[in-house]
Structure 1
Amino acid sequence: YNTTFHASTGTTPFEVVYGRSPPVITNYLPGEVKVEAVQRDLADRDECLRQLKHHLSRASDRMKTQADRHRKERSFEVGDLVFLKLRPHVQQSVAARICSKLSPRYFGPFKVIERVGVVAYRLELPHTSRIHPVFHVSLLKKAVGDAVVNATLPASLEANEDSVWEPETALEQRTVVQHGISISQVLIHWKNKPIEEATWED
C-alpha cells in the first residue's frame, strides 16, 4: 500500500511522507546467495509478498463487485428537472431543528443548467440559497410528471432573517468524549426559540 501509486495524490504514500522514492525490494533468484539460511529467508519473503498481493487484489475485486451492484449509471440533460437529496441529520450545516431526521430527504425539483465534468451538475437553486449549486450525480433523481416534493431548500440553507439562529444564553456545560478526545460543550438557548430547541454546541 505505502509504495503503490495513488491517483488522488499523483504519487505513493511513502513519497508523501518521506519526500523520496521508496526502496525497491528485488525478487530473489535461486542461487544468488550461498548461505542456505539466507536463501530460505529470501524465498519465504518473496512468497509472503506474493500472497499479500494476491489477497489484497482479491479483496479489492470483491469490494468493487459489491459496490457495482448498488451503482446506477445515470445522466441528465440541461433543462431536466431533478430532485436534490440532502441529509439534514448528517450535515450539521443543514440541521435546523432537534428532530431533523424527520426532515424530507429530497427537495425540488430544480432545473439542471450545466453539466460539470463527468459526474456533477449545476442546478438552478433559489436566489436565496446559501449552498454551492454543483452536486454529484448520486444526489440527484430525475423528476417525472408534475409532482413536487419540496420546492424549497431547508430553512438553514436559505439566506433570510428567520433562518439565522442567534444565541441568547448558555444554560449548561458538559464534557463529552468523541473519538477518544474530550470536548467541552455548552447548551445554548437560541433567541426567539422555545427552550425545547436548545442545542449542545462545541
Structure 2
Amino acid sequence: MEFVSMPTGQMRERIKEGLSHDPMATSLIELATEAQFSYNLQRSEATNQSPFEIVTGQQPFTPNAIATGYKGPNPTAYQFAKEWQEQHELARACLHKTRKRAKKWADQKRRDVNFEVGDLVLAKLSGILRNPYHKGLVQRYEGPFKVLKRVGTMAYRLELRPTIKAHHVFHVSLLKPYHQDEEELDRGKSHRAPVGVKVSYEKEIEAIHAERVVHRVGYRPRHEYLVQWKGLPESEGIWEPSGDLWQFRDKIDQFHSSRATRVSLELVGENVTDRQPMTEHNTIKAAKDYPYHVLGLLEDPNELIQSTLET
C-alpha cells in the first residue's frame, strides 16, 4: 500500500506526534505501516477526498466509523456503545465549526489584490530577513520592487536588490501597491542603509583612485574601490566593498566618468593596436602597483633590486 510519496508538513507533524504518544512503540520504523494507513485515510482540503477514495474509489472501514448498533442483553454495553458514537459525532461537529470560525476571521484580513508585470510594489521583509533591531525600529515594508512574473494564483516574483538575501517569490499577503508622490519625488525617501547592508559611514570620501574585482574560490566575485577618506593622505587609501559605499554613489559616478574621460584622452593620436588589452590580470597588477606610484617609486622594489643585481 503506497498511494503518496511525501505527506505535507502539517500532516507529517501530526503523524510524528501520534507515534510519539504511543506507549507500545519501541521504534518509529515498526509503526511505519500504521502511519501510512492513517495518512491515506485523511481527506484533503483541495479534493475533499482521501488517497484511498481517489485510488480505489472507496474509504476503508475503521473501528470508529463502523456503526455501533449493539443489541445484546447487557444494557451497560449498549449505553457505552451509544455514548462512544455520540462523542465521535460531537467531536467531528466541533472540528467543523472551529474550521469555519477560523476561516471567517482569516478572510476578514485578506485582500483581493492583483498586480501586473512591471508594477512597483512594497514587500514585507520583517519576518523574512534577520534584523538585530527591535521590530518597532524597522520598516514593515521595503521597496519599491518591480513585479517580474506571476507565480500561480497567489504569489509574484519580484526583482530584488543584490543586497537582499531572500527568495524572490512572495505571497500576495506580503505585498501592497507602491504609490509614488507626484509633487515631491524625494518625499518619504529613506536615508538609512539599504536592506541587507549593515555598514553606514559618518565620514566623507576625498577621492576614489581605483577599482578591482576580487575572485575567491567558493565565493562570489567582490567589487571593491580604493577609497581615500577625507583628512587622510592618499597613501592610506583602503579597499572598500562597493555595496558598503551606498552613501557615496555620486563619488562613484564621478570616478567612472573621470576615468572614461582620461582613457579617451589617452587614445587620441595613439596607436590603439599597441596598447595592452585590459584583462583581469592587468587590472589586478595595476591595483598592486598603485601603492608604489603613490610613494613616489616608479618601479616595483623587487624589480628594482633584480635589475640592480643584473647590472
> Under a length normalisation based on structure 2, what TM-score does the superposition of the two structures give?
0.42
Q: Does 1:37 align with 2:76?
A: yes
**Structure 1 unaligned blocks of 5 or more:** 1-6, 164-202
Q: Which has the higher contact order (CA 8 A, sep 6+)?
A: 1
Task: Choose which of 138, 152, 156 in structure 2 pairs with 1:117.
Answer: 152
- Offset, 1:65: 0.8
- Offset, 1:9: 5.4
Aligned positions of 1:113-192 closer than 5 A: 113-146=148-181, 150=190, 152-156=194-198, 162=244
Q: Distance in 2 between matches of 1:99 and 1:53?
A: 42
**Structure whose residues are more often strand by fraction:** 1
Q: How many residues align?
A: 150
Corresponding residue for residue 65 of structure 1: 104
- Offset, 1:99: 4.5
Task: Choose which of 81, 95, 108 in structure 1 pairs with 2:131.
Answer: 95
Q: Distance in 2 between matches of 1:11 and 1:105?
A: 32
Q: Distance in 2 between matches of 1:126 and 1:14?
A: 40
Contact kept, 8 Å, 1:119 with 1:137, in 2: the verdict is yes
User: Structure 2 counterpart of 1:8, which letter?
Assistant: T
Going from structure 1 to structure 2, the CA distance change for 1:105 and 1:14 (only over 3 Å counts) comes to closer
> Under a length normalisation based on structure 1, what TM-score does the superposition of the two structures give?
0.61
Contact kept, 8 Å, 2:122 with 2:142, in 1: the verdict is yes
- Offset, 1:34: 3.4
CA RMSD of aligned residues (A): 3.2
**Cα deviation digits, residues 17-74 of structure 1 (max 9, x gap):** 432224532221252x332211110001011111111112111111111111111121
Corresponding residue for residue 8 of structure 1: 8
Q: Distance in 2 between matches of 1:154 and 1:10?
A: 31
Contact kept, 8 Å, 1:115 with 1:121, in 2: the verdict is yes
User: Structure 1 counterpart of 2:149, which letter?
Assistant: E
| Stretches of 4+ aligned residues off by more than 6 angstroms | none
Q: Percent identity?
A: 30
Q: Distance in 2 between matches of 1:35 and 1:55?
A: 31
**Cα deviation digits, residues 104-162 of structure 1 (max 9, x gap):** 21111110001122211111112333222111111111112346655942425xx9675
**Structure 2 unaligned blocks of 5 or more:** 1-6, 20-30, 39-61, 199-221, 223-240, 246-311
Q: Which of these two proteins has the greater Rg computed from alpha carbons?
A: 2
User: Does the residue aligned with 2:117 lie in a helix, a strand or coil?
Assistant: coil
